[in-house]
Amino acid sequence: MEQTFVILKPSTISRSLVGDVIERYQRKGLKIAGIKMMQLGEEILREHYAHLVDRPFFPLLVKSMTATPVIVMVLEGKDAVAVVRAMTGATNARNAVPGTIRGDFGMSGQENLVHASDSVENAKIEINRFFRPEEIFNYGLVTVPAIYSPDEMD
C-alpha cells in the first residue's frame, strides 16, 4: 500500500480539531502507520518548505508553524497521496470545497490546518525527514476486506 505524509498544523492543535481530522482519515479507510507530536524549528521548516524560503511570507509561515507543537503522521492506503490531497482541499481554505478538511474547518490560506504530501516521491522524502524507520509500523487492520476488494490490495 502507498504511504503519504501529513502534518496537523498548529491551527489544528490550537482549535482542538485533532480528533476530528484524524477521524476523517480513519473513516475513509486509511491506516495510521506512524504518528507523533513534535515541536518544529526553523531549520527543519527551511528544509521542508525550501521552495518557499525566499518568499516574503516565509517568516509568517515559520511563526505559524512554530506556534504550538504539531502532529506528524504517515498514512497508508491505496492511492494514499491522491486520496489525502483530495480530502485536504485547496490550499486557501476559503476556496476549499465543503466536505474537505480545509473546506469544513478553515478560512485561511496560511492557517489551513493540514499539510499533505503532493506526490509519492515527496511523501517518501517527507516521511524520511520526520520519521526514523523504526517509527513506521506495518500491521494489519481487520477492516481491510470491508474497505478494499481483493484485486485492489497489494
Supply the residues annotated as catalytic.
115
pTM: 0.93
Higher pLDDT, 114 or 151: 114
pLDDT band per the 50, 70, 90 thresholds, residue 153: confident
Cell matching residue 70:
504539531
Q: Per-residue pLDDT for 68 more than 70? A: yes
Angle between helices 80-88 and 18-28 (to 10 degrees): 140
Q: Which residues contact 32 (CB under 8 A, 6 or more apart)?
A: 22, 25, 26, 73, 74, 75, 76
Residue matched to cell numbers 492511492? 79
Which tens digit of pLDDT belongs to each residue from 14-24? 999 999 999 99
Topology (CATH) of 2-152: Alpha-Beta Plaits (3.30.70)
Amino acid 110: pLDDT: 84
**Type of residue at 87:** M
What is the distance between the terminal CA atoms of the chain, rounded to a whole angstrom? 6
Q: Where along the chain do its domains lie? A: 2-152
Q: Per-residue pLDDT for 133 more than 90? A: yes
Residue matched to cell numbers 491505496? 78
Q: Per-residue pLDDT for 73 more than 90? A: yes
